[in-house]
Amino acid sequence: MDVNLEQLRSFVEVARFGNFTRAAEELYLAQPSLSRQIAALEHDLGAELFHRARGGSTLTVAGESLLPLARRMLADAESVRRELAELAGLERGRVRLGATPTLCISLVAEVLSAFHADHPGIELHLSEQGSRRLLDELAGGELDLALVTTTDAATAARFTVTPLLVEELVVVSSAAAPPVAGSDSLGLAEVARLPQIVFSSTYDLRAATDAAFRAAGLTPQAVLEGAEMDAVLRFVERGLGVAIVPAMVLIDRPGLRSVRLETPTLTRTISLARPADVAPTGAVEVMQRTIAATATAFAARAGETMRLAPAAAPDGGRREHRDARPEARQ
């Protein structure tokens, strides 16, 4: 069998687009050349990989079995290439980082700024997705690291997940309007009576807050529904309503006032995940250290509404979990 990386790369692109023409354009190949590569791969493997039709190409059972293996082989080959290039001094490397939307407008901005200032030669690529999607990309070899929200439960051995911070969700309102509470905290029943800006249904935060209100037998008063994080914060600043958000997003936003939720509080755990079976390159190790240091600094800046998660095991080593499941918050 004489399978090569170019054949695997062609196979993965055809599977991604479901179309030989679009895959050939993406790979800067003539379509006949791409077709020959796929045909040669099928011949070497002794199985058809695609059902070919006028409307497009879909994977056969054999193709579905090969796809995750091909993605992993390509990711491993790229990791080796980058590591050897770094060792040879040809380039500084590349880091592919994923993060949830709320982290992209807070922690990640600080991380990338600090990292690029110290290591301007390293290429940076960012994927902004929900935690579940980020773990899928990590498993598929599309990312080196992912900042996700997780539970403490370990379910398998695909990832190494290191908790960084435990953060409270707080109620925010416009700093230009009168305070929504006469004390330093609000109960869920009081929040439910306030006009709320509600996140898009794609946000895990939405699922978390909806579940909390349901458990308390409450129906919140939504004045605007379906917004993304940055829009939610802007609408709140302009006095349209209140919102329940992670405490971290309040940093450097003087137009917002926050108040804590009374018991039971809502929290999320921010964790750093990486593939358990792939050794990190030098650039990725530097990024991990930068993330940990920046997260610690953010915890100090956010005050009482954010606290550091236990980061050390009883023996003094780093506490890591394998394949922690994504939590219902972003």
pLDDT at 153: 38
What is the DSSP pairing of strand 94-99 with strand 195-199? Answer: unpaired
pTM: 0.60
Same fold, 5-83 and 167-267: no
pLDDT at 145: 95
Least confident stretch, 143-152, 156-165, 301-310:
301-310
- When comparing pLDDT for 86 and 50, which is higher? 50
pLDDT at 305: 46
Q: Would you kindly state where each structural domain of the chain is located, as residue ranges?
A: 5-83, 91-161+270-326, 167-267
pLDDT at 84: 67
pLDDT (mean) for 285-300: 84
Q: Domain 5-83 is in which class? A: mainly alpha
The C-alpha atoms of residue 62 and residue 57 are separated, in whole angstroms, by: 14
pLDDT, tens digit, 9 for 90 and up, residues 258-274: 898 987 788 888 899 99
pLDDT at 42: 92
pLDDT (mean) for 304-327: 40
pLDDT at 280: 84
Least confident stretch, 140-144, 302-306, 312-316:
312-316
Please give the sequence-ordered ranges of beta strands (E in DSSP) within the chain, or none if there are none.
50-53, 56-59, 94-99, 123-128, 145-154, 159-174, 185-186, 195-199, 221-227, 243-246, 256-261, 267-275, 306-308, 321-322, 324-326
Whether the per-residue pLDDT at 119 is higher than 70: the answer is: yes
pLDDT at 200: 82
pLDDT at 285: 86
Residue 240, both tokens? 């349209």
Q: Domain 167-267 is in which class? A: alpha beta
pLDDT at 85: 65
Tell me the sheet residues that pair with 98: 127, 146
Q: Whole-number mean pLDDT of the chain?
A: 82
pLDDT at 318: 39
Percent of the chain with pLDDT over 90: 37
pLDDT band at 329 (very low <50, low <70, confident <90, very high): very low
The C-alpha atoms of residue 204 and residue 329 are separated, in whole angstroms, by: 4
pLDDT band at 302 (very low <50, low <70, confident <90, very high): low
Whether the Cβ atoms of residue 14 and residue 27 lie closer than 8 Å to each other: no
pLDDT band at 92 (very low <50, low <70, confident <90, very high): low
pLDDT (mean) for 45-60: 91
Percent of the chain with pLDDT over 70: 85
Residue 82, both tokens? 């980058």
pLDDT band at 91 (very low <50, low <70, confident <90, very high): low
Q: Domain 91-161+270-326 is in which class? A: alpha beta
pLDDT band at 157 (very low <50, low <70, confident <90, very high): low
